[in-house]
A and B are shown apart, each in its own frame.
Chain A
Amino acid sequence: MGNAKLWGLKKSPWVFHLAAAPCNNCDIEILDILTPRWDVERFGIVLVGSPRHADALLVTGVINRKSLPRVLRVYEQTPKPCLVIGVGSCACHPHIFEPSYNVVGPYDKYIPVDVYIPGCPPKPEAIILGVVKALKRL
């Protein structure tokens, strides 16, 4: 049973794109990996519109006081087991935004992040590598 579950989850991770106040740079790269050039449907990865259908959340952007409750709500709405993948440098660490009054810190203070993909923005190849690493960790 456990093996079947793992196989199903590894072979068809549906991703939900959770943009928590990003600058849209990483989001464009995420859309790139769905285009025919990179074609992630080869691995069964499909972009879904509702967090209820998702197996992996791609979170982008610096988390702040406005986006934190939304991120938490979407994470709670996602059926478990689910992966959380932080895309971009901002998801790894607030960097230059850290002294700002509005920034509440990195993601893993609030939700368990499985993989961080650094880069501003990360290349599509790097995002695919990150997702593969997240799946290997299961």
Chain B
Amino acid sequence: MNIVRFLFSYIIFPGFLFSAVIGLFVTWIDRKVTARIHWRVGPPWFQPYADFLKLLLKETIVPEGASKILFLSAPLLGIISMSVLAVMLFSMNFDPTRTFVGDLIVIIYLLALPALGIIVGGSASKNPLASVGVSREMTQYFAYELPFLIAMAIVVIKSGGSIKFGEIVAAQQAHGPFLYSISGIIAGVVILLSTQAKLSFVPFDIPEAEQEIMAGPYIEYSGVALAMYKLARAMMFFLLPLFLISVLWGGFADWWAILKFLVIVVLIVLIKNTNPRLRIDQALKFFWLGIGILSIIGLIFAFYGL
């Protein structure tokens, strides 16, 4: 019985299937809002599902000389980590007692895995543009991960030194969200910008810059493998705002969470549509100097309880 429940939660709700369906819907929100900003009509609601179905049924080409196993298995890394993340986020938001020691660290690693999948897949595809994209992805990963970890430290300090995700959520349900303080706002800004970079959205879409290196690490991917990457991206787009809500904005166990989620998604899309792409060195400087110093100031504020 327990095994059936486990499989149900990992494969159907809230794991793979649920977060995939909702995630694809969120990518539609992204495209529609983008279209409205451009004063266009935009695609119909079933567009991401049509794209996904089409990619599933197309031919999958493995480039000559590429490492076949790595090339085809790398896209799955993102999907698996995001399914596990979905189960952890949902179970601990609705029942904060189902936590274990250090699960915040597990979540941080799960958030890093999709980038790793992109790096492995891009390097395995034997294409010069893909390797350029991969090297940029690696640099960008090191850029955004440092401020992101410092922001996580702010969250840990504000929750009274707990590295249990469930306790962080429970502390906010008891004493109000962490966001409503100076250090909370700073952590929010830092996590929002690293979310933008994790999703490779426009100011930080340096790894897959469509205009210079086509699609970067994805350039050789087609058919099912490309569909898996698109799906992993969609699931990230669904889960990263939920992660931000649950570490800073009081969890998502009530109906207000839908509004909070839409606010964050629209904010991400607005940042995406009103900014030009940075160069990789500018992104590194931005994250290590600008945002890094901001997050350290936030850490000091959090230390003094502000």
Contact = CB atoms under 8 A, between A and B. Distances in A.
B57 interface: yes
Interface in B25-49: 31, 35, 38-44, 46-47
B46 A11 contact: yes
A36 B40 contact: yes
A53 B211 CA distance: 15
A79 B61 contact: yes
B226 A52 contact: yes
A7 interface: yes
B31 A49 contact: no
A49 B54 contact: no
Nearest to A80: B59
B220 interface: yes
B221 interface: yes
Nearest to B31: A41
Interface string A28-48: 000000001001011010001
B215 to A, nearest CB: 5
Interface in B183-212: 210-211
B263 interface: no
Main secondary structure of the interface of B (DSSP, over half): loop
Contacts, number: 82
A111 to B, nearest CB: 16
B50 A12 contact: yes
A5 interface: yes
A55 B38 CA distance: 25
A49 B210 CA distance: 6
Given A12-B50, A52-B220, A77 B39 contact: no
Nearest to B220: A52
Interface residues on A, range: 20 to 34
A56 to B, nearest CB: 12
Interface in B280-302: none
Contacts of A9: 54, 57
B219 interface: yes
A121 B184 CA distance: 57
Given A52-B61, A53-B222, A7 B53 contact: yes
Given A52-B226, A77-B61, 13 more contacts: A5-B57, A8-B51, A41-B42, A42-B43, A48-B215, A49-B210, A50-B215, A50-B219, A52-B61, A52-B219, A52-B221, A53-B215, A81-B58
30 contacts: A1-B57, A4-B57, A5-B54, A7-B50, A7-B53, A8-B53, A8-B55, A8-B57, A11-B50, A12-B50, A12-B51, A36-B38, A41-B35, A41-B40, A41-B43, A42-B40, A42-B42, A44-B43, A49-B211, A50-B218, A52-B61, A52-B219, A52-B220, A52-B222, A52-B226, A55-B58, A79-B59, A79-B223, A81-B58, A81-B59
Interface of B: 31, 35, 38-44, 46-47, 50-51, 53-61, 210-211, 214-215, 218-223, 226
